[in-house]
Amino acid sequence: MSAFAVYFIIWWTVLFMVLPIGLRTQADENEVVLGTVESAPARFRGARVVLLTSVISAAIYGAWYVASTYFGFSMNSLPRIVPDFGRT
């Protein structure tokens, strides 16, 4: 279950990186539909976005899986950025 949670977090993060790739706005196409903003997509390609997001997320998840399984890399291996205020 935790593997799915990690993949879902990666997928959701990558989605926001993939969304603007290849985006053409209505202002770019000079075809602004009445009642919409100029920055709205002219043609939204949802299937392409989902497919590209899934492929990139699978590659990142695969790299994380290899790093954690074969090289012993874990979240505890990362340097602590936030100070620990619980200890005095």
pLDDT of residue 62: 94
What b/e readout covers 45-83, taking b as 16+ CB neighbours within 10 angstroms? eeeebeebbeebbeebbeeeeeeeeeeeeeeeeeeeeee
Amino acid at 84: D
CA 60 to chain centre: 10
pLDDT (tens digit, 0 to 9) for every residue of the chain, 88 residues total? 688 998 999 999 999 999 999 889 999 998 898 999 998 888 888 899 999 999 999 999 999 889 888 888 777 777 777 777 776 5
pTM for this predicted structure = 0.73
pLDDT of residue 1: 67
